[in-house]
Structure 1
Amino acid sequence: MNIFHFTYNFLATALSLAVLPAVWMQARRDPARKAVLAQRLGYCLPSRDGLNPARPRIWIHAVSVGEVKAAEAVVNALDIACRKVPILLTTTTMAGQRYARRQFHGRATVEYAPVDLWTAIGRFLSVHRPDLLVCMETEIWPNWIFRAHGAGIKTVFLNGRISARSIRSYMKIRPLMKPTLEKVNAFSMISAMDARRIISLGAPAHRVQVNGNAKMDAQDWAVDDALIENLKRTYAVDDHTPVFIAGSVRGAEMDILMDVYGRLAVQVPGMVFIIAPRHIENSPGIAARASAKGIDWQYRTQLGKTGRARHSPVVILDTIGELHHLYGIATVVFCGASLVPLGGQNVLEAAAWAKPILYGPSMEDFEEARTLLETFGGGMCVKDEVELTERAAYLLTHPCEARRLGCLAKKAILSSQGAAGRHARMIADLLHLPPA
């Protein structure tokens, strides 16, 4: 443990001593929250004594839903290529936990991840005793990696990516990052840019490979025609209805998109405008903005109740987990967190449905996906709300062109599949797994 790691642990411990008592007192009133907090601190963990000690165990950490989807694709590829091995999957967010429990039911043990405290991770590892720690994307937790290394547990980063914004933050603490990354056995990165960035942080270059994006192989890329028909009925649209979907909208974009709707409504008769905030708690804020501008709107949860159909031109999404499939009824998609300096959101979900995708200039967190789409011609950057309105209006009134660009976006997805298998082979090699 060098001075930087010692300082990190000192500060983390001091912060936990200051914050945890208050958090614990709050959690005591809610048994579910109390159980989660205890689990994250390394207590009340289920015993793993029943596992076959001869079979290697893999701990996969996936922060939230997006990372769980990538992990699912890798595990599916691993199951196909090798004998099944026990999987422990951890998440940080509640949304990720719910999704993981649903998708991995019967295939993996799903728990909350331990906090990066020396004692908490020690308790976690002593109970679960994994042979390999898999960090999806790039979750760099020093104590996880140091303690795993000390216990003889191999570590690998899969589907690794580091955005332009993240690298700037990480470089400020490079003296801590470098010795941490030196203890990682392998890095399976999404793109060459991600590889260069992880090497610049201190990862040994000979352990770094570029294997693509496992999310391209996620099962939910498959189109469910029956589900789409059901959504069309719910939203009262058909194949000729111009539908504009603004997904994962954040911050000032909520005001911007209301102005964009006002302009589009004049230019595109019969348009249905669906807006989905990145965080569901912001739905009432969008509703308030719409009301203030005299816009007729409905919440998604109001549709289909007691036979009620959509009657308003604007629908505000106030549900969790529907946006991905909702892209299937869109004519044009705008991907949010990009007209404001927030790094963008994942544009590939809409591309999977063969939809043309518009986004703002702030796509730093998804450079690889943006480059892929633009290479094939399925994605377009708009510099501001005026250009967004112009591009959207053109595509909404020229559906043949919208379908052509959507097919190019889908082609981009198909061109990049197979990454999950390459990531899975890295796991198999590290654990010396025999083929099935």
Structure 2
Amino acid sequence: MLSIWIRNLLYLLAFCLAIPWLVVRRLRTGRYRQGWAEKLWGAASQPPPAGSPASPTIWLHGVSVGEIQLLNPLRQELQAVWPNARFVVSTTTQSGMELARKLLPPAVRTLYFPLDFSWAVHRTFRSLQPDLLVLGELELWPNLLAIAQRADVPVVVVNGRLSARSSAGYRRFRWLTRGMFASLRLVCAQSELYADRFRQCGTDARVTVVSGSMKFDNASLNSSSTEVQQLRALVGVQERHTVFMAGSTQVEDEQAAITAFLHCRQEAPELRLVVVPRHPHRFDAVAQSLQSLPAKVLRRSELTTAVQATDWDILLVDTVGELSHWWGLATVALVGGSFGKRGGQNMIEPAAYGANVAFGPNTSNFRDVVELLLDDDAAIQLPSQESVSTWLAEQLTNPQAGQQRGQRARQLVIAQQGAMAKTVQLLQTLPLPHRGAW
């Protein structure tokens, strides 16, 4: 108990020191405006939903958009296994909350994840009375896990991923963090490499299992789906057009993609560029930078009726939750986060559609996926921002090689699918305890 309050004091000190930074960021970017009541004080109690008192409550948590997209199909699978279960989904970011409310049915309660103050976590547990807490990829906090353990609520990690940097940090402070990892009832890791890192940090080897990446299962293979075709019609893209798409981008990725597009457009008049920034708070800044270019620019958020491809050269997708469908339009795909310090973004989605995929040198967050793609000659890793222009010109000159590469990528994704079913099977082995007194 003493250690919990020591952590509370440390958290309070860190939070007070961070307030000026949070205020500045809020004023500049519009972030950090929502959810503070639930984050600081925990989720309020609500009248119990209709259903049997014996129905288990399963709490799923995903930090932001990517994790929410991952957990929603898992929720649907678990609902089929436990049809009487009640589901609650939490997230940390505003964009994650917007997508959760868009994807989830009204019966699923959504809330902001509490900060790791013991009173906020305890109030949330008392309000939700969960029988199982499922964390997407990671998101471990000591007070959260201590309170869950005391209440005998199993905490599991699905689609578990632990980077080399994070693993080294946890092991450096093993005397503080080992108990967190030891309390996990199940870890479904994406790969043996990640599973080994969890074990090194203190997770019981008997509950650390390689299930594969559910992101392969979630990836759509159908570029003729209703959602993709609606977007294609919205922007007037036809078979003759070559769509160069830069998705989940940071500043460095955008600079490289724009430079390459402007370099190649004179020789390829049917070339179009689609840019999808990673963070919503950057939409306006990216739009402002694009407007200064010698090109016709459209914003997705301003499209209320269909346009022709002749109406635009560059499209800025400034909406949340559509990226997975926009990838279906891509002929050539540049996956963002890989030319800066981000460590890469998800390259599985464009690969699943059979796009000609490339990414930069910094892909530590997806090391296993990158190795699979490169070993099968199913993607290209570019050494620098400057190399993007040369690469794009080569793809336009020899499109057949890119089409073949894309087909290899699609077949690789198909071969890797099955992690969702294995994860659900593993979760079924967990006994759901009766809720205790909160």
After superposition, the C-alpha distances for 1:369-408 in whole angstroms (9 at most, x for unaligned) are 2223223332210001343222222223333332222221
Match of 1:311 in 2: 311
Q: CA deviation at 1:285?
A: 3.4
Compute the displacement of 1:214 (Å).
Answer: 1.5
Contact in 1 for aligned 2:135/2:157 (Cα 8 Å): yes
Structure 2 gaps of 5+ residues are 27-31, 434-438
Deviation at 1:432, TM superposition (A): 6.3
Residue in 1 that maps onto 2:131: 131
State the AA in 1 paired with 2:13. Answer: A
Q: Is 1:42 aligned with 2:42? A: yes
- Paired letter, 1:92: T
* Alignment of structure 1 residues 47-126 onto 2, 5 Å: 47-48=47-48, 52-106=52-106, 108-126=108-126
Aligned partners of 1:22, 1:258: CA distance in 2, in Å?
31
Deviation per CA, 1:63-99: give whole Å up to 9, x if none: 1221122222222332344544221211112222222
Q: Provide the residue aligned with 1:368 in structure 2.
A: 368
Question: Does the residue aligned with 1:385 lie in a helix, a strand or coil?
Answer: coil
Moved more, 244-253 or 300-309: 300-309
Give the deviation of 1:424 after TM superposition: 1.2
What is aligned with 1:257? 257
Q: Which residue of 1 aligns with 2:235?
A: 235
Q: Distance between the aligned counterparts of 2:261 and 2:143, measured in 1? A: 48
Q: Displacement, 1:119?
A: 0.9
CA contact (8 A) 1:188 1:211 kept: yes
Kindly tell me the number of residue pairs found equivalent between the two proteins. 425
What CA distance in whole angstroms lies between the structure 2 residues aligned with 1:342 and 1:239? 34
Partner of 2:270: 270
**Structure-2 change in CA distance of 1:222 and 1:309 (3 Å):** closer
**Could you tell me how far apart the structure 2 residues matched to 1:393 and 1:316 are?**
22
* C-alpha separation in 2, matches of 1:22 and 1:392: 40
SS in 2 for 1:343: coil
**Contact map agreement 2:56 2:84 (CA 8 A) in 1:** no
Name the CA shift for 1:20/1:396 in 2 (closer, same or farther; >3 Å): same
Are 2:394 and 1:390 equivalent residues in the alignment?
Answer: no
8 A contact 2:163–2:194 mirrored in 1: yes
Q: Deviations over 1:8-37 (max 9, x none)?
A: 33201334567789999xx9xxxxx99832
State the identity as a percent.
Answer: 26
Measured after TM superposition, the shift of residue 165 of structure 1 is: 3.4
Match of 2:35, SS state, is helix
1:300 alignment counterpart:
300
Q: Classify the secondary structure of the residue corresponding to 2:315.
A: strand
* C-alpha distance 371-309 of structure 1, shift in aligned 2 (>3 A): closer
1:282 and 2:278 are equivalent in the alignment:
no
Q: How does 1:152-301 map to 2 (within 5 A)?
A: 152-218=152-218, 222-301=222-301
TM-score normalised by L of structure 2: 0.87
TM-score (normalised: structure 1):
0.87
In structure 2, do the counterparts of structure 1 residues 86 and 379 end up closer, same or farther at CA, with 3 Å as the change threshold?
same
* Cα separation, 2, equivalents of 1:385 and 1:34: 34
Distance 1:322 1:342 in 2: 21
Alpha-carbon deviations, 1:220-268, whole Å to 9, x = none? Answer: 5554534333323332321121110111221333333322222222443
AA aligned opposite 2:300:
R
Q: Cα distance 1:18–1:279, how it changes in 2: closer, same or farther (>3 A)? A: closer
